[in-house]
Amino acid sequence: MILDLSYALEVRRSYSSNTRTQEIDAAYFYKSKAFKKLEYEPADIPKLPIKQKYSPSPGDVLYIGPGCNIPRIKLRDLLLNNHAKTTNDVTKATHIFVDTTFQKMVKSTWLHTINKKQLIQFVELLTEDHLEPSEVEDIKDVIKDLPDDEQINVDNGVRYHIENRSCSLFNGVNKVITNPNTRSNYMNYVDLEHVDNWQYIMSNLDKVYDYKCLISHINAEDSITITEEVFQQLSSMFKSEDKDNHILAMEIMANSNYIESLMYLEILFVDHGSKINDCSTKRHVNFKSLVDFLDKNLNYLSSGSSQGIIDSLIEKNVITLDSLKYILNRYTEDFYHSTQHFEVKQVTLSDKLAKILNVNYIKTVKEDYVPEVIEEQIEEQIEEKETKPEEFSWVE
């Protein structure tokens, strides 16, 4: 935790032509704006042992964390079918579902730190002319339990005065207090309203699940599976100029069985990503749930690729040889790179894919070239052989 006084300690300054510096005119301290912020390291988040698989059971109590795009109506049906319930109190949950980025629970700010000793000296200098006795007492109360070298975040202007001693307030002050651990950088911290829940979650990681594993249960039994026929219909809807067709197609996608329809869903994003990206329906909670499940960026839905389709199938553990053949045939030019003088004859699986599928697959892209038989040249060669005079060799 780091004490943040950047909004609590306010110092007003003005330029003095006599000293040619920014002089302090007034100072104020607002105790209600002093907060302790819980710092965290973003690089540690991906290392958290968050579970990726969940099976609903009767009696489950689910806590759905901030940033989890789950349609509430569909969640209600899942709960009713499995005799489970949700809670807003994370401490009462048997299963905690979170957005693994925790983006809705965290913030960042710029740090300008001083230590406790520096702050005490600065407050003493302000006491006579600029701070009320009650304000001084509030400052002392806020910092009383901190070690002398504790880093405290303050406004950059305050830090500048303390570090550079640039105004007349420091005249006659011979004792220079240094701060070898001063910080001037971005700090990542937990939003104040989520601190208690954050600390509980981090202390109970055995209960924590990636909320995306809940989505696969929500869009399952009663959801439509996108088959080849449905896929062709959706493609036709996106190809039309009627935006209502685009909206309807996206609603069908959002309400499909994500796992069973995964290949076709990814292909639709690759083939029609621009129209999907330009449609406001993408911000509907149902569609956002699909976007999150596929690990896509809501603002860049037109950036899909044929390679990305395969990556998604591998990640969700639904890759098959048939799906690979389908993708290879559909996006031939993406995988067969011929040149002016050389062409690809055969394509095989990478070691990674071959191991996953446990199969040796070779696709012939180009048949063997059959050389042409040129009859005229053959006849000329035969005729030349018949008329060619016998060579004379003299041997002694």
Q: pLDDT per residue over 60-74, tens digit each? A: 999 999 988 888 877
Do 73 and 129 reside in the same domain of the chain?
Answer: yes
Q: Residues in the chain with pLDDT < 50?
A: 392-396
Whether 268 and 295 map to the same domain: the answer is yes
pLDDT attached to residue 41: 93
252 and 160 in a common domain:
no
pLDDT at res. 396: 44
Q: Are residues 237 and 108 in the same domain?
A: no
Q: How many CA atoms lie within 13 A of 183 on its CB side?
A: 16
Is residue 287 assigned to a domain? yes
Cα-based distances in Å from 142 to 34, 74, 139, 177, 266: 8, 47, 5, 20, 54
Number of structural domains (the chain) is 2
CA distance 86 to 63: 6
Predicted confidence at residue 239, as pLDDT, reads 93
Q: Which of 179, 198, 218 is the last residue of a domain?
A: 218
Q: Do 202 and 233 fall within a single domain?
A: no
Supply the pLDDT for residue 387: 57
| Kind plus residue range of the DSSP H or E element containing 189 | strand 186-190
The residue from 166, 200, 218 where one domain ends is: 218
Q: Are 113 and 183 in contact (CB under 8 A)?
A: yes
Q: Indicate whether 1 belongs to any domain.
A: yes
Residue 363: exposed, middle, or buried by beta-carbon count in 10 A (0-12, 13-18, 19+)? middle
Residue 196 lies in a domain: yes
In a domain, 392, yes or no: no
187 and 296, same domain (yes or no): no
Domain termination site, one of 218, 235, 262:
218
Both 151 and 229 in one domain: the answer is no
Residue 341 lies in a domain: no
Q: 51: which DSSP letter?
A: B
Please tell me the predicted confidence (pLDDT) of residue 392: 47
Percent of the chain residues past pLDDT 70, beyond the cut: 93
Q: Domain for residue 235, yes or no? A: yes
Q: Is residue 335 part of a domain?
A: no
Whether the model clears a pTM of 0.85, i.e. scores above it, the answer is no
Beta partners for residue 24, in sequence order = 13
Is 6 in the same domain as 107? yes
What pLDDT score does 377 carry? 59
The whole-angstrom separation of Cα 43 and Cα 46 is 7
166 lies in the same domain as 60: yes
Structure tokens at 334: 């993406």
Do 2 and 69 fall within a single domain? yes
What percent of the chain shows pLDDT beyond 90?
47
260 and 194 fall within a common domain? no
Helix locations, 278-350, DSSP H: 285-293, 306-315, 321-330, 332-335
Element (H, E) at 63: strand 61-64
Please report whether residue 378 resides in a domain.
Answer: no
Please, are residues 260 and 306 in contact by the beta-carbon 8 Å criterion?
Answer: no
Q: Find the helix or strand (DSSP H, E) in which 109 lies.
A: strand 106-110
Domain that holds residue 260: 224-304
User: Can you list the alpha helix ranges (DSSP code H) found in 178-284?
Assistant: 195-203, 212-218, 228-239, 243-254, 262-277
111 and 175 share a domain? yes
Residues in the chain: 396
